[in-house]
Amino acid sequence: MNDYPRRITLQEWDAHYVQLREAGMREPPYGGTLRRHVEEGDLRLRTLLFDNSSAALRLWNFLLTEEDRLREARTAGKKIVGTMKDLGTVPVMAYALPNVVAFYPDGAWWIPCVMELSEGLFGIADSLGIDEAFCPVRAMLGAFITEAHFPVPDLLICSAGATCDDFSAIAQRLNGLGYPIVWWEIPHRRIPDPDEERVELPGGFAAPASQVAFVREELERLRTVLEQFAGVPLNDGALSAGIARANEVRRLLAELRQLTFTAELCPLPALEMLIAEMLAIHFCSDQAETIEVLRELLREVRGRVEARQGVLEADAVRVFWVNPVADLQVMNLLEDCGGRICGTEYLFSHALDEIPENLPPMEALARMALADPMVGSAADRAARICADTRRFGAEAVLISRIPGASHCATEGIIIAEAVRSRLRIPVLEIEVPPLSDSIKPMLRTRLEALIETSKELRKTCCVPE
């Protein structure tokens, strides 16, 4: 039994949960009320608005129980690999092995927001010399020290090279504290010279064949590391099967994104879509369950689209969102101001694009790794953002600056210029700290201005070319 789709508060979820249970809702073992996560410290949930479907409940519960899953995996004798920074490539390899679970310690990025700073991770990072000049991923250091948010992995693999300085510096700090790290190089993706062999990458970028070959060699090196770690061979057959499973997740997400971003009425709120997209990176430590969670969500969205039901006003302005937002509440705020998300680039588009299955698996993975929007130029990333903005028919672009992030200082300007000149639609750049309550009125004013401007433009023309 689901009510008419809408966004509800945590308090409303308490009563709604009881109703759903009484109506026969069946839940996975990690199911339960959202309220219990607040009791465990996820205080931010008290201020968020959630989708009211059982599919969304399952999604939230899946996300918020990852730590339990990792600890259970350890107890069950599974090996845990912490993959760092590459956002999507190495987990595909790790999950191709039996008995290995991979996750991103980088995910600690959101802990200070979700726990409303009660966990003290920034304080620990500060004491290690990693202060607010760095992006919120610095919370990861504290999470390693306290061991209160994830078990310390048995193996750490981190990409370096064309990455942000924040992460590279923080990972090095971690390494300096005595956590061994296997580093692998991801080179800055460049435009092939005219006399160079060119390789098309998933998502539309291109790279010189020599760079693809280089990354492939690096991944081969990781294959050996993983084989030794797991004590079993990681052959091409297993890798291909792993790629096929990852692609199943990506296909489900592609349909979910297409339906949600293009439906006349918005069938699923921005927050739930953000979490769903994040599942593509490392499957929230359970690949099979990720597929089930997404299937249920997709069924819900399909049903709503067919029934012409939505969670927001019909005239909500279609906004393309760039970068993950440090305070989840701001996704709600955009919707409160009359916007809806129609397209995203949360720094990991390469984890959403299907991995080619008609290539040798390591070649396919190398191409995927090089398709990372953050390893190329800001102009490349801007081009992709423009293409996807067009594809989803967004009417405005919102760039969410990440406090301290080394890439945000320059790329926001480049992306904004590209959007304005190519699409001639409004662009807004905001900076959102992990807890934005004190600047909420200012953020609201700016978001409202964006929405109003976009609505005004509707009267004058204005379909982007």
Partner 1 sequence: MKTVVYVSPFVPQEWIAAHGLQPSRVLLEHTKRVAIAQPAAGVCPFARAFIAFGLSLTDESAIVATTECDQMRRAAELLAGESSAPLFLLNVPTTWQTTTAHRLYISELERLSAFMVRLGGKAPTKEELTDVMLRYDALRAEIRGARGSLSGRAYSEAISRFHREGAADLSAARAAPLARGVPLALLGGPLTGEHFRIFDLIEEAGGQVVLDGTETGERTLPRAFERRRLHEDPFPELADAYFGTIPDAFRRPNSQLYHWLKGETARRGIRGIILRRYLWCDTWHAEVQRMKEWSPAPVLDLDVGDDDCESRAASRIQSFVGMLR
Which residues bind to ligand SF4, rule: CB under 6 A?
135, 137, 164, 166-167, 347, 374, 402, 405-407
- For residues 408 and 260, give the distance between their C-alpha atoms in angstroms, rounded to a whole number: 28
CB 137 within 8 A of CB 143: no
Asked if 155 interacts with partner 1 (CB under 8 A), we say no
Nearer to ligand SF4, 271 or 405 (CB): 405
Among 377, 393, 435, 439, binds partner 1 (CB under 8 A): 377
Backbone angles phi, psi at 304, to 5 degrees: -70, -40
> At 146, phi and psi to the nearest 5?
-80, -25
Distance CA(183)–CA(175), nearest Å, equals 10
Give the torsion through C-alpha atoms of 53, 37, 92, 145, to 10 deg. 160
CB of 89 to ligand SF4, least distance (A): 15
Q: Provide the minimum distance between the beta carbon of 346 and partner 1 in the complex, in angstroms, as a whole number.
A: 18
**429 φ, ψ (degrees, to nearest 5):** -115, 125
Q: How far is the CB of 205 from ligand SF4 (least distance, A)?
A: 17
Nearer residue to partner 1 within complex by CB, 43 or 181:
181
Q: Which is nearer to ligand SF4, 374 or 398 (CB)?
A: 374
Provide, rounded to whole angstroms, the least separation between the CB of residue 52 and ligand SF4. Answer: 30
CB atoms inside a 10 Å sphere around CB 409: 10
Residue 396's DSSP bridge partners are 319
Nearer to ligand SF4, 2 or 159 (CB): 159
Q: Site for partner 1 (CB under 8 A): which residue of 8, 43, 117, 181? A: 181
State the binding partner of 133 from ligand SF4, partner 1, none, CB within 5 to 8 A by kind: partner 1
Tell me the site size for partner 1, rule CB under 8 A: 48
Q: Which does 214 bind (CB under 5 to 8 A by kind): partner 1, ligand SF4, none?
A: partner 1
Q: Which is nearer to partner 1, 123 or 231 (CB)?
A: 123
- Kindly tell me which of 286 and 327 has the beta carbon lying closer to ligand SF4: 327
Separation between Cα atoms, residue 318 and residue 320, nearest integer Å: 7
Nearer CB in complex with partner 1: 121/128: 128
Is position 168 an interface residue for partner 1 (rule: CB under 8 A)? Answer: yes
Residue type for position 158: C
Among 52, 406, 436, 454, binds partner 1 (CB under 8 A): 406
Q: Could you say which residues in the range 64-103 bind partner 1, by CB under 8 A? A: none
Sorted by sequence, the CB contacts under 8 Å of residue 29 that are 6+ apart come out as none
Of the ranges 157-165, 223-231, 260-268, 277-285, which one interacts with partner 1 (CB under 8 A)?
157-165
> CA–CA separation, 440 vs 460, rounded Å?
31
Complex with ligand SF4: residue 163 or 247, whichever CB lies closer: 163
Interface with partner 1 includes 241 (CB under 8 A)? no
The partner in contact with residue 410, picked from ligand SF4, partner 1, none with C-beta cut-offs of 5 to 8 angstroms by kind, is partner 1
Which of partner 1, ligand SF4, none sits in contact with 413, Cβ below 5 to 8 A by type? partner 1
Nearer to ligand SF4, 137 or 157 (CB): 137
Residue 184 as a binder of partner 1 (CB under 8 A): the answer is yes
- Residue 409 touches partner 1, criterion: CB under 8 A: yes
CB of 432 to ligand SF4, least distance (A): 12
Which residue in 80, 94, 130, 365 binds partner 1 (CB under 8 A)? 130
Is 224 an interacting residue with respect to partner 1 (CB under 8 A)?
A: no
Nearer to partner 1, 24 or 129 (CB): 129
Residue 347 interface partner, choices ligand SF4, partner 1, none, CB cut-off 5-8 Å depending on type = ligand SF4
Minimum distance from CB of 138 to ligand SF4 (Å)?
Answer: 9
172 CB-contact burial (10 Å; exposed 0-12 / middle 13-18 / buried 19+)? middle
Binding to partner 1 (CB under 8 A): which residues in 187-216?
187-188, 190, 193, 210, 214
Residue-level length of the chain? 465
The contact set with partner 1 (CB under 8 A) reads: 127-130, 133-134, 158, 160-166, 168-173, 175-177, 181, 183-185, 187-188, 190, 193, 210, 214, 217-218, 221, 377-379, 404, 406-411, 413-414
